[in-house]
Amino acid sequence: MPETDSLIGTAFAGCRILAKIGQGGMGSVYTARQDATNKIVAVKILSAELARDERNIEFFLREARSAAKLEHPNIVHIYNFGKENGSYFIIMSYIEGKSLADIVAEKGPLNPDAATEIVLEVLDGLRHAHSKTIIHRDIKPANILLDTDGHPKIVDFGLARSISEEKQLTMAGEMVGTAYFMSPEQGLAGKVDHRADLYAVGATYFYLLTGKYPFEGKSSIEVIHKHIGIPFPNIILLKPDLPLWISRVLEQLTRKKPDDRYQSATQVIGEIKRLRTAENDGTAVSNERSIDLPKISEFFAAEAAATPAPPPPPEYRKPIATLVSDRLMPAQTSRPADAVNSTLPLGAPVAPRRETLKGKNLQLPALHNTIKATTYFAVTFAAMGCFLLAGSGGMSKPGLAESLLSPFASNPYSSGFFFTAGLALTIWALIMKPLKLTPIRLLLSFSTALTAYTAGAYAPAPETTDMVSKAFLCLKIASENIASPANLPSYSMCLFLAASKFVFRPHWGVKACSIAAYVLSLLFTWLYFKGGQTVSPDKLYLALAGIAALAGLAASLMQKQFTLLSSPALFFLVSNALVPIMFANQHINAITENLVSRDAIRVRDLSHQSYLKYRKDLLAQETSMPEFDIEGRPIEKTPVARPAEIAPTPREELSHIARLEYSATRAARIKNAIFNTAGLLFLTIFLLLMANIYFVEETLTYYAGNNSENVN
């Protein structure tokens, strides 16, 4: 082959070489003018070093043969290929543009609309290639060029093969492709079909939207092992502002087993168009499956689940003769019976007069309290709506503080107005209380406002969504995910708090419902941490949890008032806390065994590589010419040392890694349940209901005491 620079300006394969535009792993690429058509084309020439190996030549020419079968606007067109002056070449259409890898490196991640349009066109090109039984096997941003009109062109079919092709260029057990975008079956050197391209499209889609590889590693082997054994990252955790349907599509595109993915490029194109249209029309369905994959990243939700239960309500048994409604009024003066009846004739019966007074006290206060309760409910729900709207003025950020301050940074006037309105309504609701302010009331009011505001701030909506639409989207997501298993921790905590409030009531029906709520709370915790898997709980912790639950049941039946050490809430809290521990060990052991297996593969691969290097060095030493010193004496060469045995990673270290991986995954799942499925809204509504229950109880207590004093 001639020198590289000497090609410029010369005639080559019916073209005039103009300039060198790139140097790749297979050779050099030039621009040229084709003599027959006077068109600017690209000429790819295999390097002389690689041309010494027949296998490299076959790889190079197979790219030409594969692409030459394809005629599609999103696939680079091949005009000619062959051998000229001892050099192997491919003449293809010249794309005036950059690769997606270069564009992302220069400008950062693409916006969802631009990335989706590119992916749709790439899928359309692959649909055509797959219809011709051609599999690319190396789809990645560097192999997709974007022309001046913004349309992608798939290039580099060097690893492509025909499904019906009999001759295989890859040896048994050899992996082909790029590690960052390689499907699990390629990493395992297994049978590969068109669904491997779909996995690579998913990984490319992820890269275009985030600017990051799905998996990072210090070596290609480490990255490939992650593709094989670690769940694909949930993009919503990295980019919460993305439409939920993108997470859903990515989750199915990148499943580990080909049978679980989309089965054709046509199916993916149809799904993307359907979901995108549904979102634009406001009829998008819930993405609970995608953001629960599980792929699951759950520390913040664990903190929420650990929120202490509110203390039991105080007993309002003291005289309240000076209280009328929710304000301090002058005390009613009780007259003696003779003063009340002083205008009656001597000897007139007194009982009828008492019945009349009692009747008045039963009618007017009852009507007044009913109106007051209705007003209170309306005020508290309006306050919750104001805080939800105030939070919806911003977008979720990486940090908690940044997310909570985002509404005031993005929409200071609108968010400030609704926040002030919510605060004013909350104060009004507190003023309406018939009894004095208590810490539990303050806690419930503050918690309701905070959770409603946070639910609005973390609602997964696009950045362009207005405040009201985002608030309604939050309500919509909450209603769609009301039966989602991801919200079991929220329901468990709500049931636990409700049971702790009512368990000391003397009424046996109420006590039985409280016990049932405790048991149901424990069941929800069990179902969530078991995760639908066939995992056996640790027997020791199972026994301890059972003992704590039985003790809580006994305390619920016997206790009539709150005591710290023998409280049913304490026993059931301990039982709930033991559930994740009893399942954690089993999950961690399973992860550890998986890590041990993957580490064994790593040790085997490294040992094999080390052995091959040893054999190569030994063969080179044995076949090398003898060397002599200046006096003609033979020089003894140092024997090639046998490779040291590669020790596997200690199991204790792998167990520690498994524990961290399990904790991170569990934390991500709980966080996802609380923020991305509007789980905070469930907590808000529950806290609001608890506050209203306290109001009704206080109103009835006040009414009973005031009425009793008036009657007596």
- Residues annotated as catalytic (active site), given as ranges: 138
Please write down the HEC assignment for all residues of 601-665. Answer: HHHHHHHHHHHHHHHHHHHHHHHCCCCECCCCCECCCCCCCCCCCCCCCCHHHHHHHHHHHHHHH
Structure tokens of 343? 């205008």
Q: How far apart are CA 672 and CA 193, in angstroms?
A: 34
Q: How far apart are CA 409 and CA 395, in angstroms?
A: 10
Contact criterion met (CB below 8 Å) for 22 and 8: no
Q: How far apart are CA 382 and CA 387, in angstroms?
A: 9
CA 703 centroid distance within chain: 50
Please write down the HEC assignment for all residues of 250-287. Answer: HHHHCCCCHHHCCCCHHHHHHHHHHHHHHHHHCCCCCC
Helix (H, G, I), strand (E, B) or coil at 422: helix
Q: Give the sign of the dihedral formed by CA 209, CA 213, CA 215, CA 216.
A: negative
- Please state whether beta strands 78-84 and 87-93 pair in parallel, antiparallel, or not at all (unpaired): antiparallel
φ, ψ of residue 284 to 5 degrees: the values are -65, 145
Own/partner pairs for 694-698, CB < 8 Å, 24+ apart?
A: 694/313, 694/440, 694/441, 694/444, 695/373, 695/376, 695/429, 695/432, 695/433, 696/373, 697/313, 698/316, 698/433, 698/434, 698/435
In 3D space, the residue among 422, 494, 497, 488 whose CA is nearest the CA of residue 453 turns out to be 422
Contact criterion met (CB below 8 Å) for 454 and 401: no
Residues in the chain, how many?
A: 712
Question: How many helices (H) and strands (E) in the chain?
Answer: 23, 13
In 3D space, the residue among 263, 342, 307 whose CA is nearest the CA of residue 683 turns out to be 307
Structure tokens of 154? 């798939």
Helical pair 539-558 and 508-530, crossing angle rounded to 10 deg: 170
**H or E stretch including 327?**
strand 327-328
Which residues does residue 33 pair with via DSSP β-bridges, in sequence order? Answer: 16, 40
CA distances from 494 to 137, 249, 491, 553 (A): 50, 33, 5, 18
